[in-house]
Structure 1
Amino acid sequence: MGAATHSIVAIVWRIEPVSVETILIFVLAAVAVVVLVRWVAERTSLPAAALLPIVGIVYAVLPGPNISLDPKIILTFVIPPLLYSAALDSSLLAIRRNLRIVVSLSVVLVLITALVIGIGFQWFVAGATLAAGIAVGAAIAPPDPVAALGVGRKVGLPPRLLTIIQGEGLLNDATALTILSVAVAAAVGDGFSWGSAIGKFALAAAGGVLVGVVVAYVVRLLRKLRDDPLTANAISLVTPFGAYLAAEELHVSGVLAVVVAGLIIGHYAPLTGSGASRLQTTAVWRLVDFLLEGFVFLLIGQQLPRVVRGLEDYELSTILAAVSISVGVALLLRPVWLILTQFLPRSLHTRLISDDTDTDEQRVVAQRHRIGLPGREVVALSWAGTRGVISLAAIFALPLTTDSGAPFPDRDLLLFCTFVVVLVTLVGQGLTFAPLVRALGLRANRSDQAMLRNEARSASVEAALERLSEVAAEGDPEEVRAIEATRGQLKARLARYQGRIDLLRESDSEDVPVSPGYEAGLRVRRAAIDAQREELLRWRDAGRLPDEGLRVLQRELDHEERLLPDRPR
């Protein structure tokens, strides 16, 4: 990826006037706005990712200092942790089952989008070059799945569609940035070479995967050596930056390295580390996601004045042609591609069933992934192509001049086209995605999902009971007494899970049926925990229990409450 990649990796926030007080005011105001917009989004069912850019635009047109995006912090300090967190939360197995369509969208469609926009600019935009067109096409091509995933989870989109959207979002950034680096090198140098472009792309992708695997192995080794919650969190927080910087130093795809490392570490997380470490790490990454996503979507809207200022030297017809090509290809090529891929030979839609898929249940699950997408799912995926901050980060990273010292061709026009595409997709598609999904009637079968979870819970309890029988056979008297107490608790839990399974089997609805006894049990358990908390506070306030002791006991109750579901499942 070479020097061109390093020119892409250059994002810095510039705040005028630069002072500690001004920066602090901006940060506090941004946090307040993010929290407020999140509150509004929860009560209106509108995605925060679509509302925040609107708020940013409103602020940008008001008098006063503004924040401008200028390339190193986003790609170096914001994108890696967001991608890593998303990879940790993804399913490596689910992505593998849907790998063909994920690769189709995240690699092939990104390549085609960049090429079509590049040719469109060369043919229909006065003075535009193929390399410049491919550069803006590469920036526009990768959808940002945050808005679509947020809405999809809220409206109950089927798990397979969520996996495809998430998998696409994890992999397409690496494809787009690699294409962009090749296009930039062509635009500022001697021109475009297909052989060189393909070679650089293959090297960057293979190298990124290899670095990601190595980083994942090193992290797993470190966590085996020491895995207390604080150390585990520290390692987790620095992992995406380490993977990204290591890959960039080797001139391969840093984004792909971060994604691969996150997928592997997330897949093996249940086998390594303590429960306390996993709980704390999950909580930390949820906070990181909330703040970073809020900041970047707010930042998108604030780029409007800077982007518009660069259009003074362009004819209106040139601007309209460039914007029409960019927006038109971004909106239309995705559904066309999804429809075309459904007509491929059936064998290309199938996934080979592995040798370990030897049970009837495993074969049923595998069979579900052997066919293409139904029409409703194609429509939903077509409208899930919202663009985001990485598109702006990439296009803002275009160099100001070529190797000869001439201005980079049509740089301001490319910035404006990218901003319009981001705004149209993020706000337009983001605000209409939920109504579209509801109109299509796409909903996950919650009853089937609840059935699967309760069957898995029952199986885990039965395994525990079997293990207790093995331990009891060893004959330690102290352990036998403890085993009997534990066995009673496990049997009560197993009876509760079996009752849920029987209720789910009797229900004909796709929604999880409500059990009065189950609901009553949750209310009673919450009431008991509340009473315990109140008594502990009375002890603290009366001076009988120090605050340190209160925090220990309250943490125990918090973990107990954390185990209670918010709703029947």
Structure 2
Amino acid sequence: MDTLVILVVIALVSILMVGIAERLDVAWPALMVVIAAGTGLVPAWRDVHVEPDLILPLFLPPLLFATAQRTSWGLFRRRWRTLVGLALLLTTASIAVVAGTVWALVPGLTFAVAVAIGAAVSPPDPVAVEAVAAPLGIPRRLVAVLQSEGLFNDAVALVVFQTAVAAAVQQQPFGPGVLLRFGYGLVAATALGMALGAAAVWLRGRLGAVAARNAVTLVLPFAVYLAAEELQASGVVAVVVAALHIGSRQEPEQVEDRLSGAALWDVIELLVTGLAFGLIGIELGWAVREAGDQLPAMLGTGVVVGLALLGLRLAWLCGWTGVVRATGDPTAAPRTLREAVVLTWCGMRGLATLALALAIPTTLEDGGPLPGRTEMVVVASTVIAMTLLLPAFTLPLVVRGLGVDREAEREQAAEDRVAARARDAVVAHLRALPGLPELPEDRAAQVRAALAELEAMLGGPA
């Protein structure tokens, strides 16, 4: 079947799944994965397969950019402990645990390949968190922690993965050079993201049409990601830094840009998320068919790895509650063991894990087969199913059962009060302005748009 037809069909199914999932009270991306995984039963779709090298550049940049636009430099500065403790240390610990587990369970596997699969399955996916966890009534503090973790843990995993794969293919030891590569990738990506973000701000300031200014932000994520990859830096970090820089340079009077841009990115995010999760389902089905008779043993290894990841994450987050309490930061999480359980259950693996697992080469540098490659793809697919599909269908029950949804309701009520006070203050100020009995229509439209944006950010009716 033609690739374009496949993409159009997946996009249309995504739109339908949004409506169906609302009625079933489940996450629509999870339904997309299940439906797409069954496409192997359709003869015309049986051989559908996307090149691994295209998965991350096509889907990850716009989704990362959309997620990063909902945060800011100030939030990251306040959450530096989360970035260090979860995005760096927990991801590193997860890689080590998975590598040791897989190396012990799969005969003939080299340590470098074990590290590569550990890097592939270790980072929770910010795209999955945003699509599955955010709409389910989880306190915003918890969602913010998951977003902060997910935006940067891919950078750690990608550097380790690329170094481990190079060592495996060249049949060389996996050494400490990963630290140098990580340091270079982080510094170079930050500089590149700042530079291209500044260039985008400069260009947007010289474009008169709102559509053209929004088009800059649509092209920018792909340009930044590809440029970073050419420099062998972290494309993930570069895209996030560029998005944060653009967000920090928006002027308060650019209301029309923000509203039209938000509407544009809502549509883009929905369609790209649907395509990405549809692709995950298709590739999961393909991995199962590739395993053949060895599937039960490979699934067993995948289940053990998935349980090890969940156990490590739960233990880490339960211990992290002590760090959060010691800081006294009311916006940090997890503050309780109940929140630690929810954050553990939200550690979903998705697009990045699939793309990295499929990107493991099939042959060594000398042309021989790479040992354990099929097993690694099935293990990654099993981890995705365990950490994405199972939480997606059970997360509402977990949140309600632990009473975490009541905390979200209290937070929303507090935000509603803040929004109401802000609106009242704006109206009172406008009425008190001397010599201005009524605003011109263009100014009135700007005020209405600003109030609408305030509602969208903080909630509560006008």
Q: Which residue of 2 aligns with 1:248?
A: 229
Q: Distance in 1 between matches of 2:87 and 2:115?
A: 16
| % identical aligned pairs | 31
Q: Which residue of 2 aligns with 1:485?
A: 438
Indicate if the aligned counterparts of 1:56 and 1:301 stay in contact, CA closer than 8 A: yes
Q: Distance in 2 between matches of 1:309 and 1:486?
A: 66
Q: Which residue of 1 aligns with 2:158?
A: 177
Q: Secondary structure at the match of 1:111?
A: helix
Letter in 2 for 1:457: R
TM superposition shift of 1:342: 3.1
Counterparts in 2 of 1:26 and 1:123: CA distance versus 1, 3 Å: closer
**Matched residue count:** 451
Counterparts in 2 of 1:277 and 1:169: CA distance versus 1, 3 Å: same
What does residue range 18-417 of structure 1 map to in structure 2 within 5 Å?
22-66=2-46, 67-271=48-252, 274-312=254-292, 314=294, 317=297, 319=298, 322-344=301-323, 349=327, 367-369=329-331, 373-417=335-379
TM-score (norm 2): 0.89
Residues 54-76 of structure 1: per-residue CA shift (max 9 Å, x gap): 10122222322342132133211
Indicate if the aligned counterparts of 2:39 and 2:45 stay in contact, CA closer than 8 A: no
Counterparts in 2 of 1:121 and 1:282: CA distance versus 1, 3 Å: same
TM superposition shift of 1:374: 1.5
Q: Secondary structure at the match of 2:43?
A: coil
Residues 110-134 of structure 1: per-residue CA shift (max 9 Å, x gap): 1111111111222232111211111
Counterparts in 2 of 1:41 and 1:312: CA distance versus 1, 3 Å: closer
Q: Distance in 2 between matches of 1:405 and 1:195?
A: 26
Indicate if the aligned counterparts of 1:60 and 1:304 stay in contact, CA closer than 8 A: no
Q: Are 2:415 and 1:435 aligned?
A: no
Residues 291-322 of structure 1: per-residue CA shift (max 9 Å, x gap): 110011111111234212433485955x2553
TM superposition shift of 1:458: 3.4
Indicate if the aligned counterparts of 2:256 and 2:449 stay in contact, CA closer than 8 A: no
Letter in 2 for 1:93: G
Counterparts in 2 of 1:249 and 1:457: CA distance versus 1, 3 Å: same
Counterparts in 2 of 1:28 and 1:397: CA distance versus 1, 3 Å: same
TM superposition shift of 1:462: 5.0
Residues 213-260 of structure 1: per-residue CA shift (max 9 Å, x gap): 111211111122224212111211111012112211211111110011
- Over the aligned positions, Cα root-mean-square deviation in angstroms equals 2.9
TM superposition shift of 1:104: 1.7
Which of these two proteins has the greater Rg computed from alpha carbons?
1
Unaligned runs of 5+ in 2: none
Indicate if the aligned counterparts of 1:144 and 1:385 stay in contact, CA closer than 8 A: yes
Q: Distance in 2 between matches of 1:269 and 1:34?
A: 32
Indicate if the aligned counterparts of 2:303 and 2:382 stay in contact, CA closer than 8 A: no
Q: Distance in 1 between matches of 2:172 and 2:286?
A: 29
Counterparts in 2 of 1:175 and 1:156: CA distance versus 1, 3 Å: same
Q: Secondary structure at the match of 2:437?
A: helix
Q: Which residue of 2 aligns with 1:457?
A: 423
Counterparts in 2 of 1:147 and 1:371: CA distance versus 1, 3 Å: closer
Q: Highest relative contact order (Cα 8 Å, sep 6+), 1 or 2? A: 2
Residues 461-488 of structure 1: per-residue CA shift (max 9 Å, x gap): 455567x44xxxxxxxxxx4xx12249x
Q: Distance in 2 between matches of 1:263 and 1:408?
A: 40
Indicate if the aligned counterparts of 2:324 and 2:334 stay in contact, CA closer than 8 A: no
Q: Distance in 1 between matches of 2:429 and 2:295?
A: 72
Indicate if the aligned counterparts of 1:143 and 1:386 stay in contact, CA closer than 8 A: yes
Q: Secondary structure at the match of 1:64?
A: helix
Q: Distance in 2 between matches of 1:393 and 1:140?
A: 10
Q: Secondary structure at the match of 2:50?
A: strand
Letter in 1 for 2:307: G
Counterparts in 2 of 1:432 and 1:560: CA distance versus 1, 3 Å: same
TM superposition shift of 1:163: 0.7
Q: Distance in 1 between matches of 2:112 and 2:398?
A: 36
TM superposition shift of 1:343: 4.2
Counterparts in 2 of 1:88 and 1:485: CA distance versus 1, 3 Å: same
Counterparts in 2 of 1:190 and 1:25: CA distance versus 1, 3 Å: closer
Indicate if the aligned counterparts of 1:342 and 1:372 stay in contact, CA closer than 8 A: yes
Counterparts in 2 of 1:415 and 1:198: CA distance versus 1, 3 Å: same
Q: Secondary structure at the match of 1:455?
A: helix
Indicate if the aligned counterparts of 1:323 and 1:417 stay in contact, CA closer than 8 A: yes
Q: Secondary structure at the match of 2:287?
A: helix
Letter in 2 for 1:485: E
TM superposition shift of 1:188: 1.1
Q: Distance in 1 between matches of 2:334 and 2:137?
A: 21
TM superposition shift of 1:392: 0.6
Q: Distance in 2 between matches of 1:277 and 1:344?
A: 40
Q: Distance in 2 between matches of 1:561 and 1:210?
A: 36
Residues 242-288 of structure 1: per-residue CA shift (max 9 Å, x gap): 211221121111111001111221233244x7322222211111111
Counterparts in 2 of 1:378 and 1:118: CA distance versus 1, 3 Å: same
Indicate if the aligned counterparts of 1:131 and 1:192 stay in contact, CA closer than 8 A: yes
Residues 318-343 of structure 1: per-residue CA shift (max 9 Å, x gap): x2553233212222211111122334
Counterparts in 2 of 1:410 and 1:387: CA distance versus 1, 3 Å: same
Letter in 2 for 1:196: G
Q: Which residue of 1 aligns with 2:461?
A: 568
